[in-house]
Structure formats: structure tokens, C-alpha cells
Amino acid sequence: MAYHWRQKVLFKHCDPAGIVFFPRYYMMINDCVEAFFFDVLHYPFEEFHKEAAGVPTAQMETTFHAPSRHGDWLDFALQPLRIGRTSLDYGLVATSDSERRLSAKATLVHIKNYVPDPWPQDVRDKISEMIGDEK
């Protein structure tokens, strides 16, 4: 089952052509991941960053299917795909009124004190469940 997160396209997101400027989609993706960690994993960015942990992105592949305009509502669906000892692969699709705007696949890594660190067990369990549901 995917996690859904919504974002309205605001003035600040748009470029002189009146559409979302692509680097700003990555800010939205990060906000979506941050909300996922808070809402679903109950492992908030604001907590673990205090303890020298983090989840930097190691890889990201993105396809931009169609432009998004100011005022559009975007639905981001984040689906965990694979969990490693310290990594997480996820897929993400953003749609507006069911038109696909972008799709992405990314890998992030759980680190502590700058080195990869195993996921906390309860986080791993919740992610595994979401992957299992999908299969």
C-alpha cells in the first residue's frame, strides 16, 4: 500500500514558463519522504537528526511526464520497494487529476555519525509490512 501526500503547486514552485521548475519537485519529494517518516514510520526527521542520524539520498531516477501548473494539486504516492540492512528503495508517482506528472525511483540510506547504520527494528517492521502488502 502506498503512502499518499498532497501538495498544491504554489507561486514559489513555478518558473517563468509558469510551470513547476524541476529542482523544486525534489524539494516536494523530500517533504513527502519527511511526512512519510513522521506519519507512517513514527520516526521523525526532527528527532533523529538531533542524534547525528540522517537518511541521505544515494540514488534517484526521475521521469517528468507532463508539466504542472500553478494551482494544480499534486498527489504523491510513495511505495517502499525494498529494504536493506541500512537502505530503502522506494518508488514515487505524482499525479494531478490522475494525469501522471512525474515518477521516480530512489534509494536512501540510514546513517549515523556519517556511516551507514541499521534501521531501527520498528521502522524496519513497518516498511517491510508496506512492501509485503504490495506483493
Residues that bind a copy of itself (CB under 8 A): 9-12, 14-19, 21-24, 26-27, 29-31, 34, 44-47, 49, 54, 56-64, 67, 69-71, 114
Cβ(70)–Cβ(14) under 8 Å?
Answer: yes
- Other beta carbons less than 10 A from residue 52's beta carbon: 11
Angle at 54 between CA 51 and CA 57, to 5 degrees: 175
Shortest distance, position 125 Cβ to a copy of itself, whole Å? 24
**97 vs 135, which CB is nearer to a copy of itself?**
97
Shortest distance, position 39 Cβ to a copy of itself, whole Å? 12
**46 vs 135, which CB is nearer to a copy of itself?**
46
Cβ(68)–Cβ(19) under 8 Å?
Answer: yes
Angstrom CA distances, 62 to 4, 54, 85, 109, stand at 18, 22, 24, 18
**1 vs 60, which CB is nearer to a copy of itself?**
60
Shortest distance, position 27 Cβ to a copy of itself, whole Å? 5
**99 vs 134, which CB is nearer to a copy of itself?**
99
Shortest distance, position 7 Cβ to a copy of itself, whole Å? 11
Round to whole Å and give the CA distance between 96 and 120. Answer: 34
